[in-house]
Amino acid sequence: MKTRLIMLGLLCAANLAHADILDKMNSRKGRYQPETAWQEQVLPLPGYPASAQWVELDTPVNVKPRLFVDSNSLLLAEDRTVRFILRQQSSSGIDNISAEGMHCGERTQRSFAFADTTGQRWIASYRAEWRKLDSNNAVQRSVIKALCPEDAPPLNAEELAANLKQARKKP
């Protein structure tokens, strides 16, 4: 009988504690303000990379083009995206240069423009949306690993520059 009374007392106490927790949770729901949706910061395109400081990225052997990031163009925008100029150089020496953006935490990317190397100007990209990084794309994996090694946006411009420096191809 004594054991039953103890068990009944414990069950009543647990029920009251549970009711108190539910009451607190319900009162918080009324005060909860959802975060505002992420808004892309509109920035002008960087200048054409005539005097770029190309940093070659250390890449796995399965990445065919050589990859370079212009350290002068590296920018941590207020919307927490990383903006940069990327140069992909084929084995025959042909350059493909683009102005890129990466949202490290969301693992998305966007190409803002492509370089017209003859006219030395930018041609705006027709695709204006941010796209999920393709896990099968070795180039995208290499770039995000270089600039966002922890899959999170760098805390400041100095950390971003340090990430690029660490990703530099060793001679």
**33 lies in some domain:** no
Full 3-state SS string of 93-133: CCEEEEEEEEECCCCEEEEEEEEECCCCEEEECCCCCCEEC
* Residues composing the chain: 171
Does 63 share its domain with 111?
Answer: yes
Predicted local confidence at residue 73, as pLDDT = 94
Predicted local confidence at residue 72, as pLDDT = 93
Does 133 share its domain with 59?
Answer: yes
Domain count, the chain: 2
Does 157 share its domain with 104?
Answer: yes
Does 84 share its domain with 136?
Answer: yes
Does 99 share its domain with 16?
Answer: no
Does 76 share its domain with 153?
Answer: yes
pLDDT by residue for the chain (171 residues), tens only, comes to 666 556 556 555 555 555 555 454 444 344 444 467 888 999 999 989 888 999 999 888 888 899 999 999 999 999 989 999 999 999 999 999 999 999 998 899 999 999 998 999 999 999 889 999 988 898 998 999 999 988 788 889 999 999 999 888 877
Domain that holds residue 3: 1-28
**153 lies in some domain:** yes
Predicted local confidence at residue 170, as pLDDT = 79
The answer to whether residues 147 and 69 touch, using CB atoms and an 8 Å cutoff, is yes
Predicted local confidence at residue 77, as pLDDT = 93
Does 102 share its domain with 159?
Answer: yes
Predicted local confidence at residue 13, as pLDDT = 55
Does 70 share its domain with 122?
Answer: yes
CATH number at residue 78: 2.40.128
